[in-house]
Amino acid sequence: MATLLVHDAGPQTTVQDLGRRGSLRVGVPPSGPVDRQAFVLANRLVGNADDAAGLEATLIGPRLEFADKRWVAVTGAAMPVTLNEATMPRWAAFEVEAGDVLRLGPAASGVRAYIAVSGGLDTPPALGSRATYLRGQMGGWQGRALRKGDELSLGPSVGGAPAEVRGSLIPDYTREPMVRVVPGPQDDRFTKRGLATLFEAPYEMTPHSDRMGARLRGARIEHTRGHDIISDGVALGGIQVVGDGQPIVLLVDRQSTGGYTKIGTVCSFDIGRVGQVKPGQRLSFKRVTVSEAHELLRAYRRELDDAIAFPS
Amino acid sequence: MGIYAEPRFLPCGDLALSVEFADEISHEANARTLALEYLIQQKALSGITETVPTFRSLLVYYDPLIVGWDDLVASLRALCRQARPDVLPPARTVELPCCYGGELGFDLEAVAKQVGLSPDDVARLHASADYYVYFVGFTPGLPYMTGMSERLNIPRLAQPRVKTPAGSVSIGGEQCCIYSVESPGGFWVLGRTPVRLYDPSSPDPILLRAGDHVRFRMIDRAEYDAIETAAAEGRYRPRIERP
């Protein structure tokens, strides 16, 4: 059977697809890739559907051995890619043979890299998805991060072709990103000055960040009256501000509901970029309206649909 | 405090909005929330991708390339007018066995002291109530409930615990909750249910739903152990009454 053998897993490599839908109402987060754009592009490069299951590697990548001929693409964080010691391109599809060993080194910039294999990973779905939800021990491979010796089944190979992501769409993770934010749902629980603070100076990523949330550090954001609310739903990208006035951006493995004020919500098309900011690096927030966000989303999806070049 | 004359529509980024009915925790506000969610499902409103009910608001995820903000708010506003408790299908009642006190209910004695009752009376009082599940969330399958006697109202722990075991039946303020996975928490633990509220290995991993009623049945440690073993082997099904 066609498999992928894990020689080394790296600190946190998980199976992900585009995530669960409809499970938040019972408290199960969607999971899926933190950087959805990089993940989708990896799948498209190897000819997979957007929702085919692939791998998300964190800070240091895995070492994997293939058992048959496949197309492979690596996107996201700048982890050096080698195939049997030979350097391979990132953001481009290449072919591997049975016995080939793919290795991703430590990220020079960015946090999360994505590995797509033509045919996708064929792990057992849970609640309709192969995405790994680590805290809930659900989905992916046995509900956990990969370990040395794991052997993952692959789906039937689909035909691939040489392909690469257009250079203009490859992010430079060494730069300080500016992410767009729609104020709300509890922006009225902050002083005018508190709301302005969020958009003034950059915030620094702290090491206490994971797939659940990105904890940031910077200028204190001022509340009007306390940080408790009657618990409500927490959207992807929700910026929760608790008693210490520091923001936490909630990501794909977030709690479904929460009892803290949310000053704003990072737009879906910028969430992936938040997940690529290393601890110690900074990011800044830019305020947009809902209708501006929808215009930006339209442009973003057009750009994504035109992101891949197939050299003839 | 109370139900708003008109629901509020609060933006939650580019893909979600929150429909808020009230600034209070009440059956009425929650019933409207659940009724709106039910109507959205029934009418299969175009462009809505997911909904998350809570005490007094419904988080609605949508695809803005299918339905824009103005159209979505207009259709939700119309549905809110019909979102009355009587549109909801009759609720289920789920019976959960619970072993009170001892090492599983390690706060029972402290609670008894604080509310001025005997531990047995606290357990009996807690087990005799009918609980209403406002919503399920925070962690997978965790029910937010009220229903118990006012005599059991007790402020939450001053120092939240780092770890509370899964299945812990616990109280704080007027609320009762059951930890679905091991997690930090500020509630007083009266006992534990051997029933799994969240079982990631099951095809249907979540037991409780918003709008359910829950009743506790007092069990002793021997029965707890027996049910726990059966649950681990997937052989135990709690009693669920459907009207």
Check: CB of residue B98 under 8 Å from CB of residue B69. no
Look at A294 and B68 and tell me if their CB atoms are within 8 Å. Answer: yes
**Which of A173, A174, A132, A120 minimizes the C-alpha distance to A12?**
A132
Q: Over the stretch B164-216, which tens digit does the pLDDT of each residue have?
A: 999 999 999 989 999 999 888 889 999 999 999 999 988 889 999 999 999 99
What pLDDT does residue B136 have? 97
Distance CA B243, CA B240 (A): 10
Q: Is A265 on the interface with B (CB under 8 A)?
A: yes
Cα A24-A27-A28 angle, rounded to 5 deg: 70
* DSSP conformation letters of A194-230: HHHHHHHS-EEEPSS--SSEEEEESSPPPBSS-SEEE
Q: Does B66 reach chain A within 8 Å, measured CB to CB?
A: no
pLDDT digits 0-9 by tens, B118-150: 999 999 999 999 999 999 999 999 999 999 999
Contact A236 B137 (CB under 8 A): no
Contacts of B76 (CB under 8 A, 6+ apart): B7, B9, B19, B36, B40, B45, B60
Q: What is the pLDDT of residue A312?
A: 62
Who among B15, B20, B55 is closest to A236 (CB)? Answer: B15
pLDDT of residue A202: 97
**CA–CA separation, A167 and B39 (whole Å):** 47
- The DSSP call for residue B157 is P
How many Å apart are CA B3 and CA B1, to the nearest integer?
7
Within 10 Å of residue A172's Cβ, how many Cβ atoms? 9
A150 min Cα distance to partner chain B (Å): 19
C-alpha torsion angle, residues A227, A231, A234, A237 (rounded to 10): 0
In angstroms, the CA B212 to CA A59 distance is 43
What pLDDT, on a 0 to 100 scale, did the predictor assign at position A226?
84
Q: Which of B92, B107, B106 is nearest to B211 (CA)?
A: B92
Q: What pLDDT sits at residue A1?
A: 64
Whether B160 shows a pLDDT value over 90: the answer reads no
Q: Is A22 on the interface with B (CB under 8 A)?
A: yes
B3-30 burial, b at 16+ Cβ within 10 Å, e below that, comes to eeeebebbbbbbbbbbbbbbeebbeebb
* Interface probe, candidates B1, B14, B163, B187, chain A, greatest A C-beta count within 10 A: B14
- Dist CA A217 CA A142 (whole Å): 34
3-state secondary structure of B201: coil
The secondary structure element, H or E, covering residue A252 is none
Residue type, A160: G
Q: What one-character DSSP code corresponds to residue B154?
A: B
* Closest-CA residue to A286 (of A186, A169, A176, A189): A176
Q: Which residues of A43-64 are buried (b: 16+ CB within 10 A; e: fewer)?
A: bbbbbbeebbbbbbbbbbbbbb
> Across the interface, do A256 and B137 touch by the CB < 8 Å criterion?
yes
Query: What Å distances lie between residue B148 and B132, B151, B214, CA to CA?
Result: 10, 8, 11
* Closest-approach residue (CA) in chain A for B58: A233
Task: Label residue B27 by pLDDT band (50, 70, 90).
Answer: very high
> Which residue in chain B is spatially nearest to A255 when comparing CA positions?
B138
Is A27–B140 a contact, with Cβ atoms under 8 angstroms apart? yes
What are the start-end ranges of the E strands in B77-158? 93-100, 131-136, 143-146
Which strands form B3-11's sheet, in the order they lie side by side? B3-11, B16-22, B57-62, B48-53
Most B-contacting residue of A232, A250, A265 (CB-CB within 10 A), to test interface: A232
* CB-CB neighbours of B217 under 10 Å: 13
Is the omega angle on the peptide bond into residue A247 within 30 degrees of 0, that is, cis? no
Calculate the average pLDDT of chain B: 95
- The question of ipTM being above 0.85 is answered as yes
**Is residue B187 within 8 angstroms of chain A, CB to CB?**
no
Which of A136, A232, A257 lies nearest to residue B200, judging by beta carbons?
A136
CA distance B105 to A223: 38
Does A28 contact B144 at a Cβ distance shorter than 8 Å?
A: no
CB A131 within 8 A of CB A32: yes
- Low pLDDT (below 50) residues in chain A: none
List, for residues B79-110, the tens digit of each pLDDT value.
Answer: 999 999 999 999 999 999 999 999 999 999 99
How far off is chain A from B36, nearest CA to CA, in Å? 14
* Amino acid occupying residue B181: V
Q: Do A268 and B15 touch (CB under 8 A)?
A: yes
| Interface contact flag, B140 A28, Cβ < 8 Å | yes
Report CA-CA distances (Å) from A289 to A182, A293, B3, B130: 6, 6, 27, 45
Label residue B161 by pLDDT band (50, 70, 90).
confident
pTM of the predicted model, to two decimals?
0.95
Which residue has tokens 């195939």? Answer: A83
CA dihedral of residues B66, A275, A94, A19 (deg, nearest 10) = -50
